[in-house]
Amino acid sequence: MARDIFSSIQVPQVDDRPLWDVVFAIYGYPALLLAHRLKIFPLLAQNSHTLPEICKALNIAQRPAEAILTTATALGFLSLQEGRYSLTPVSKEYLLEDSPNYFGFFWDLMIDNYQVSTYAGLEKAALTDSAQAYGGGDIFKSHEEQIELLQRFTCGMHSISMTPALVWPQVMDLSQHRMMLDIGGGSGAHSIGAALRWPDLQAYILDFSQVCEIAQNYITRYKLQDRVKTCEINIWRDQWPAADLHFFSNMFHDWLPEKCHFLMAKSFNSLESGGRIVIHEMLYNDEKTGPFAAAAFSMMMLGWTEGKQYSGQELSAMLREIGFEQIQIQKAFGYYSIVSGRKP
Amino acid sequence: MFNLGNMLNLGSTEPIIGRASTLVECSTKDLFKYLGEDLFQNYPKWSPEVQELEQLTPGPVQLGTLGRQVRLDMGRRSESRFKIFTFEPGVRLVLAGVSDPFRCTYELQDMNLEKSTKLTFSFELLELLVVMRPFEGLVRSAIKDGAERTVQNIKRLVEAEKSMESSAT
């Protein structure tokens, strides 16, 4: 039987490029992390450069340099004209450290924890259904090491949060709200973004005390000390301050539905009547056929947390079950969406 | 994002939840009647900590019905109001505290063509009073044990009632 199949081999009816794309993702995308760490983007910030000039400046050979630069160009991070490489709008906006929208700290976090995204790391996470990052909670690290890790982590989170934090407050009308709780708010990027857009809004960032210390630096950087404050609490067991707006960004995907349900119920109980809950996440579509960004984010959550991405329908159903009304799903910046509901 | 609390041991990220399940030899319809429709008659039976129970809104038990209870838990007397937050006959009943931060969920699942029902009960304490924080471990353990006791009490009561009904006929 097998002999017949092989002897009658024909050209397949479908292309094999999707299979190559899997392989190329393994090699292609890390080229950008390499370009970032080799500081190719800051090198090109002032002037465009030729390949030999880049090799000389970075002290690398032409063969690897050409491979990295061509990948970066193919993916839209560089342009090549008349033999000279230069930055594109996306790399100028997100890959230069002096930009307020700098994304590079998050890439650093990915590089520093590359073992989580390796085949072995993901295989272990999948087979054991447990997060692999930081060894699953490394209590043997010293206090200083923990603080250093926390700073790098919060910096990485701020790096991916500040840009979307400027957009979702434009999508929603927050003029009726006075006090926002940024629950598990980390650096406070979203409180900062909301406060910048809505001058009458005040915000509390709710997080562990060590994180709040770091958030204070960001609040000061944006000169919002009068309106954005931190509140050192354990969001799971402590009472939340009174507020009429509860905001969660990249929080629910850390947990399975049971814990999301708990947080939503706590939000419902704590909100004033007429208050609103806003959930900022990358959502699966309702059919769970994609998009790829949400599916890949779910793989990242597999390696880092006990959670997963949700669809708008799933989050809406949870909110409705808790008692929220006027549930809305709106597109926000990039891959992000917001799901919101009002307490009757 | 990334569950920082767990990764860096900043503090517990475990909500205070007690959950337990059992199989009750009874249809989902009958079990829901016992738990939901006849809540104000039966609640003190499966939860002996309830000292006083009063229905505050008139009419049959339904979504939005309000109640008041006085409980005695480990010697501590407390009074609270609750509201029926979910009332899905044969499927789910949720009571949530109006003045106090708790939620009780009773979920029913038909297991054997309406002959037996899987009952899952969960109790969520949405926040811990400051005075209780030193005893968080004890509270967690009491809630866990309480959930197990609750489903076993309901099973015993419902099955005994059903057996009495069948012996009477």
The pLDDT, as a whole number, for residue A59 is: 97
Q: Are B23 and B152 in contact (CB under 8 A)?
A: no
Give the pairing of strands B102-110 and B117-125. Answer: antiparallel
Q: Do A236 and B97 touch (CB under 8 A)?
A: no
Q: Is B6 on the interface with A (CB under 8 A)?
A: yes
Q: Is A262 on the interface with B (CB under 8 A)?
A: yes
Q: Are A282 and A299 in contact (CB under 8 A)?
A: no
Set of chain B residues whose Cβ sits within 8 Å of the Cβ of A232? none
Q: Which of A83-97, A123-137, A143-157, B17-31 bottoms out in mean pLDDT, i.e. has the lowest?
A: A123-137
User: Does residue A65 have a pLDDT over 90?
Assistant: yes
Q: Do B13 and A237 touch (CB under 8 A)?
A: no
Predicted confidence band of residue A270 (pLDDT cuts 50, 70, 90): very high
Q: Is B124 on the interface with A (CB under 8 A)?
A: yes
Set of chain B residues whose Cβ sits within 8 Å of the Cβ of A249? 1
* Homologous superfamily assigned to A119-133+151-343: Vaccinia Virus protein VP39 (3.40.50.150)
Q: Is B48 on the interface with A (CB under 8 A)?
A: no
Q: Is A307 on the interface with B (CB under 8 A)?
A: yes
Q: Are B128 and B101 in contact (CB under 8 A)?
A: no
Phi and psi, residue A57, nearest 5°: -65, -35
Residues of A belonging to the active site? 253
**Who's near A238: CB < 8 A, 6+ residues apart?**
B127, B128
The pLDDT, as a whole number, for residue B29 is: 95
Set of chain B residues whose Cβ sits within 8 Å of the Cβ of A210? 8, 10
Domains and their CATH numbers in chain B: 16-46+87-168 (3.30.530.20)
Judge: domain A17-95, CATH 1.10.10.10. yes
Q: Are B95 and B85 in contact (CB under 8 A)?
A: yes
Q: Is B8 on the interface with A (CB under 8 A)?
A: yes
Between residues B13 and B120, which one has the greater pLDDT?
Answer: B120
How many whole angstroms from its chain centre is CA A29? 17
Set of chain B residues whose Cβ sits within 8 Å of the Cβ of A259? 15
Nearest residue in A to B98, CA atom: A269
Give the pairing of strands A325-331 and A276-282. Answer: unpaired
Between residues A291 and A3, which one has the greater pLDDT?
Answer: A291
The pLDDT, as a whole number, for residue A98 is: 96
Q: Is B17 on the interface with A (CB under 8 A)?
A: yes
Q: Which of A38-47, A120-129, A131-140, A237-246 bottoms out in mean pLDDT, i.e. has the lowest?
A: A131-140
User: Does residue A233 have a pLDDT over 60?
Assistant: yes
Between residues B8 and A139, which one has the greater pLDDT?
Answer: B8
User: Does residue A1 have a pLDDT over 70?
Assistant: no
Q: Is B134 exposed, middle or buried (0-12, 13-18, 19+ CB in 10 A)?
A: exposed
CB burial readout A69-105, b (16+ within 10 A) else e: bebbeeeebbbbeeeebbbbeebbebbbeebeebbbb
Phi and psi, residue B84, nearest 5°: -80, 110
Domain spans of chain A, in order of start? 17-95, 119-133+151-343
Q: Is A20 on the interface with B (CB under 8 A)?
A: no
Domain A17-95 matches domain A119-133+151-343 at the CATH topology level: no
> How far is the C-alpha of A57 from the C-alpha of A113, rounded, in Å?
28
Nearest to A236 among B7, B12, B97 (CB): B12
Peptide bond into B134 cis (omega under 30): no
Please count the residues of chain B. Answer: 169
The pLDDT, as a whole number, for residue A128 is: 94
User: Does residue A139 have a pLDDT over 70?
Assistant: no
Set of chain B residues whose Cβ sits within 8 Å of the Cβ of A269? 96-97, 101, 126
Q: Closest Cα of chain B to A67: distance in Å?
A: 33
Nearest to B2 among A146, A238, A304 (CB): A304
Q: Do A269 and B101 touch (CB under 8 A)?
A: yes
The pLDDT, as a whole number, for residue B133 is: 80
Nearest to A262 among B96, B124, B133 (CB): B124
Residues in A 103-142 with any Cβ partner in B closer than 8 A = 131, 133-134, 136-139
> How far is the C-alpha of B120 from the C-alpha of B115, rounded, in Å?
17
Q: Which of A146-150, B37-41, B79-83 bottoms out in mean pLDDT, i.e. has the lowest?
A: A146-150
> How far is the C-alpha of A126 from the C-alpha of A40, rounded, in Å?
35
How many whole angstroms from its chain centre is CA A52? 35
Select from A197, A188, A130 the least CA-distant residue to A170: A197
Q: Do A139 and B6 touch (CB under 8 A)?
A: no
The pLDDT, as a whole number, for residue A134 is: 62
**Who's near A127: CB < 8 A, 6+ residues apart?**
none
Q: Is A304 on the interface with B (CB under 8 A)?
A: yes
Between residues A322 and A277, which one has the greater pLDDT?
Answer: A277
Predicted confidence band of residue B13 (pLDDT cuts 50, 70, 90): confident
The pLDDT, as a whole number, for residue B138 is: 86
